[in-house]
Amino acid sequence: MLKKFRIALAGNPNCGKTCIFNSLTGSRQHVGNYPGVTVESKSGKFTLDDMEIELIDLPGVYSLSSSSPEEAVVFRELTQPGIDLIVNVIDSTIPRRSLYLTTQLAELHIPMMLAFNMSDDARKKGLNFNIAKLETYFGSPIVQTVGNTASGVRVLKEKLSSELHNLADHGVPMLSYGGDIDEAINEVSAKIDSLDISEYRHIPSRFFAIKLLEKDSCVMQIEAFKPVWDTVDEQIRHLLDKHAIEADTFMADRRYAMLAGACRDTISSTNEKRREISDKIDLVMTNKFLGFPLFLGIMYATFWFTFICAAPLMGYIEEFFSWLGGITGALWSPQTLPYLRSLVIDGIISGVGGVIVFLPNILFLFFAIAILEESGYMSRAAFVMDGVMRRFGLQGKSFVPLVLGFGCTVPAILATRTIESERDRKITIMVLPLMSCGARLPIYALIIPAFFAEKYQAFTMWLIYLIGVIIALIGARLMKSTLFRGDGEVYLMELPPYRMPTLKSLIFHMWDRGKMYLQKAGTIILLTSIILYICNTYPEKSEFSRDYDTMITAVDGDAEKVTVLENEKRAEIMEYTISGRVGKALEPLFQPVGFDWKITTAAISALTAKEVFVAQMGILYSEGEAGEESEGLRAKLVKNYTPLQAFCIMLFCLLTIPCLATLAVIRRELNSWKMALLEAGGLFLLAYTLTFIVYQAGSLLNIGTKLL
């Protein structure tokens, strides 16, 4: 029987930790979110000799200070029982800063190994390491690796096997903070020991004493440590009054001093002082004149790659599910369980197709994002855009998802995972639906040529897109100062060296996101698709205003007249359904924004996807499932609505939630139905209010109020 072990993989952001994780676990990975936060969790399993190992890839952090959601998650994970070994991944190009986290991990007294990653880049910088001496400083074995090429992983596995078989003999260093601080730590430790807290008995009381003296928020929130607070405050006052020492800053200084000494004794640098290739590239890529145009060009290339390359695959998927529905309909007799047949063909198969059709977009998007991240350019993009985006309460990395939102909101929301700040990420997610996605384009393509003169058509389209952008930026600014108000956050903007991504790592990154979308969001989208199918189908109408069947038989042979009669029948059927009835019931509510029951019904059906609005209007106006190029539907719309109403339709569709897929992914990414429903409700109120103002002002000023 295999022995089971749990290993935690810890390190700074951009240290190559994920590459090592992928090399060790291969395809046996699980990706999710930690409960209550938007921080990603990732675990995987692999077999090593006679051991089955669960590897936990912790979020990248710079310390265990609990100043961010990521640090709080790492703290919580490492202080729970069950971690047998920590593998601390070090960016060996910047060892002094990377090892700061190591000094805090050592205080947990959990057996630890150090993986000095990016050792190839360190050699290029002229850094030489005395590994044996470094091992004595940190009481832990050290392996040099190159994560993106899996170099050193074999040696890492050998060391892992050796360490796991000898955990009891593993030494741990005890960092001294100097006489005064150590005395304070011992006083608090003694008080903690006297409480005998069983939940944290596996962690040295010294670790929690240090955290309490640093006023760490995670430890301060643990109820079991409340009896220690008085002792902690007493020691902090003593250090401040007698020795003028701020405990938290002094301990940080002591850690850095220890690291300075360790690095001075064990790391040497060659005399060659040459500018790295990365620095030379950055002279162009982050140039104040060239950086922004180059960034726009790269974003355009990403945008083009994602949506143009995905389009053929999306077409094939649509054709496949259309074929599957047709085959199922041909093999399943309409007389056999007709209701179930209709549900399977028009509800389930159509619903599954509606989920999977987004998959190529998501896969290509995250393949492109993985290239930007692993090559090191994503950090440059954030640097270039940071100054502009911060004026609106966002950060530089928010710009990439916002641009991608013009294509499809679903993968754009998933792309916000590159944003480290939880608050900025939430704000970006909340405003993303205001970017006019491709699903809204058929609505504009139907309405604009019908209601606006050719010389104004391009301007009208531009205006609609601009309105979404302006409202999104204003909304971000308002949310930063209200809903997500807080102290200003300071971020380390790290510019890692440029690297060549590996195909294996890119594929893992791409598939993780695609699998998560299918497993999590897909189930919700499928369920809502079935519910909307039922609303658009039932109850079935049995009595009609005219005897359509007899009339169709009478004109048999005249295909045009048959089509007209069938479309009129479908319009009556739609009016009789739950959606039609709800549309009629809500008509008084929507009349102040210029909508009748038909527009309202189409808007309800468009919850599955905004482009459904066009098809539903075609059915309701007896034009069949019309497309945006339908001249017949355009003619009927022009006869029934004014240009002002047409503009209000586009404005309302722009400002409401794009589709239920978006709602499902928001819920998934924010781990909260409350936030998802708040988003949908808030956008509806925004859309209704602004559309009401535009329609009423236009009516009052007599702008676009006449039928063409």
Check whether residue 203 and residue 237 sit in a common domain.
yes
Q: Is the pLDDT of residue 676 over 70?
A: yes
Structure-token pair, residue 420: 């480290």
Q: Is the pLDDT of residue 371 over 60?
A: yes
Inside any domain, residue 446: no
Q: Is the pLDDT of residue 257 over 60?
A: yes
What CA–CA distances, in Å, run from 255 to 67, 188, 189, 288, 644? 18, 20, 19, 37, 67
Structure-token pair, residue 523: 């189930």
Please report the pLDDT score of residue 431 as a whole number: 94
* Per-residue confidence band for 148, with pLDDT thresholds at 50, 70 and 90: low
Give the sign of the dihedral formed by CA 116, CA 118, CA 119, CA 125. Answer: negative
Q: In whole angstroms, what is the distance from residue 628 CA to residue 633 CA?
A: 9
As a whole number, mean pLDDT of residues 494-521 equals 71
Asked whether 153 and 161 are in contact (CB, 8 A), the reply is: no
Check whether residue 581 and residue 634 sit in a common domain.
yes
Q: Which of 203, 180, 168, 233 is nearest to 79 (CA)?
A: 203
Asked whether 22 and 43 are in contact (CB, 8 A), the reply is: no
Q: At 108, which CATH number?
A: 3.40.50.300
Inside any domain, residue 469: no
Instruction: Say what percent of the chain tops pLDDT 70.
Output: 86
Please report the pLDDT score of residue 691 as a whole number: 96
Q: In whole angstroms, what is the distance from residue 641 CA to residue 120 CA?
A: 67
Q: What is the DSSP string of 609-635?
A: -TTHHHHHHHHHTTS-S--TT-HHHHH
Check whether residue 16 and residue 144 sit in a common domain.
yes
As a whole number, mean pLDDT of residues 94-110 equals 87
Inside any domain, residue 707: no
Q: What is the DSSP string of 235-281?
A: HHHHHHHHH---HHHHHHHHHHHHHHHHHHHHEEE-S-----HHHHH
Q: Is the pLDDT of residue 695 over 80?
A: yes
Please report the pLDDT score of residue 170 as a whole number: 66
Q: Of 26-40, 164-178, 297-311, which has the strongest mean pLDDT?
A: 297-311
Q: Is the pLDDT of residue 521 over 60?
A: no
Asked whether 116 and 92 are in contact (CB, 8 A), the reply is: yes
Q: In whole angstroms, what is the distance from residue 228 CA to residue 188 CA?
A: 7
Whether residue 539 has a cis bond before it, omega within 30° of 0:
yes
Q: In whole angstroms, what is the distance from residue 504 CA to residue 22 CA?
A: 9
Check whether residue 504 and residue 535 sit in a common domain.
no
90 CB-contact burial (10 Å; exposed 0-12 / middle 13-18 / buried 19+): buried
Inside any domain, residue 417: yes
Q: Which domain holds residue 414?
A: 291-438+481-508
Q: Is the pLDDT of residue 271 over 50?
A: no
Q: Of 87-101, 178-192, 256-270, 676-690, which has the strongest mean pLDDT?
A: 676-690
Please report the pLDDT score of residue 694 as a whole number: 95
Check whether residue 314 and residue 235 sit in a common domain.
no
Q: In whole angstroms, what is the distance from residue 343 CA to residue 532 CA?
A: 11
| Those residues with Cβ within 8 angstroms of residue 166's Cβ, 6 or more apart along the chain or in another chain | none
Q: Which of 241-245, 422-426, 471-475, 523-527 has the lowest mean pLDDT?
A: 523-527
Please report the pLDDT score of residue 457 as a whole number: 85
What CA–CA distances, in Å, run from 375 to 320, 381, 446, 650? 36, 12, 42, 40
Task: Please name the amino acid found at residue 81.
Answer: P
Instruction: Tell me the three state secondary structure of residue 297.
Output: helix
Q: Is the pLDDT of residue 495 over 80?
A: no
Check whether residue 589 and residue 557 sit in a common domain.
yes
Q: Of 95-99, 112-116, 565-569, 616-620, which has the strongest mean pLDDT?
A: 112-116
Please report the pLDDT score of residue 683 as a whole number: 94
Check whether residue 485 and residue 554 sit in a common domain.
no
Q: Which of 116, 123, 66 is nearest to 88 (CA)?
A: 116
Q: Is the pLDDT of residue 272 over 50?
A: no
Give me the residues paired with residue 51 across strands. 3, 48
Q: Is the pLDDT of residue 274 over 80?
A: no
169 vs 144, residue with greater confidence:
144
Check whether residue 364 and residue 406 sit in a common domain.
yes
585 CB-contact burial (10 Å; exposed 0-12 / middle 13-18 / buried 19+): exposed
Structure-token pair, residue 192: 């903690």
Q: Is the pLDDT of residue 671 over 70?
A: yes
Q: Is the pLDDT of residue 48 over 50?
A: yes
Location of structure tokens 């641009």: 403
Domain count, the chain: 4
577 CB-contact burial (10 Å; exposed 0-12 / middle 13-18 / buried 19+): buried
Inside any domain, residue 519: no
Structure-token pair, residue 407: 């294509």
Structure-token pair, residue 19: 């590459």
245 vs 458, residue with greater confidence:
458
Q: In whole angstroms, what is the distance from residue 117 CA to residue 138 CA?
A: 17
Structure-token pair, residue 218: 């995670």
Check whether residue 361 and residue 500 sit in a common domain.
yes
Q: In whole angstroms, what is the distance from residue 498 CA to residue 496 CA?
A: 6
| Those residues with Cβ within 8 angstroms of residue 262's Cβ, 6 or more apart along the chain or in another chain | 99, 134, 137, 138
Please report the pLDDT score of residue 526 as a whole number: 65
Q: In whole angstroms, what is the distance from residue 477 CA to residue 465 CA?
A: 19
Please report the pLDDT score of residue 644 as a whole number: 94
Query: What is the average pLDDT score of the chain?
Result: 81
Task: Please name the amino acid found at residue 600.
Answer: T
394 CB-contact burial (10 Å; exposed 0-12 / middle 13-18 / buried 19+): buried
Please report the pLDDT score of residue 597 as a whole number: 86
Inside any domain, residue 279: no
Q: Is the pLDDT of residue 35 over 50?
A: no
155 vs 502, residue with greater confidence:
155
Instruction: Say what percent of the chain tops pLDDT 90.
Output: 12
Q: Is the pLDDT of residue 665 over 80?
A: yes
Asked whether 79 and 109 are in contact (CB, 8 A), the reply is: no
Inside any domain, residue 320: yes
Structure-token pair, residue 40: 């990603």
Check whether residue 38 and residue 83 sit in a common domain.
yes
Q: Which of 641, 614, 643 is nearest to 630 (CA)?
A: 614
Q: In whole angstroms, what is the distance from residue 281 CA to residue 277 CA?
A: 6
Question: pLDDT, tens digit, for every residue of 192-223?
Answer: 888 888 888 888 888 888 888 888 888 888 88
Instruction: Tell me the three state secondary structure of residue 1.
Output: coil
Q: What is the Cα gyration radius of the chain?
A: 31
What CA–CA distances, in Å, run from 391 to 381, 474, 477? 16, 10, 8
From first CA to last CA, the distance across the chain in angstroms is 80
699 vs 66, residue with greater confidence:
699
* Per-residue confidence band for 626, with pLDDT thresholds at 50, 70 and 90: very low
Inside any domain, residue 174: no
φ, ψ at 320 (rounded to 5°): -65, -45
Asked whether 91 and 144 are in contact (CB, 8 A), the reply is: no
Check whether residue 316 and residue 411 sit in a common domain.
yes
Check whether residue 31 and residue 62 sit in a common domain.
yes
Asked whether 231 and 189 are in contact (CB, 8 A), the reply is: no
- Report angle CA 169, 170, 175 to the nearest 5 degrees: 135
Q: In whole angstroms, what is the distance from residue 595 CA to residue 349 CA?
A: 32
Q: Choose the final residue of a domain: 142, 169, 196.
A: 169
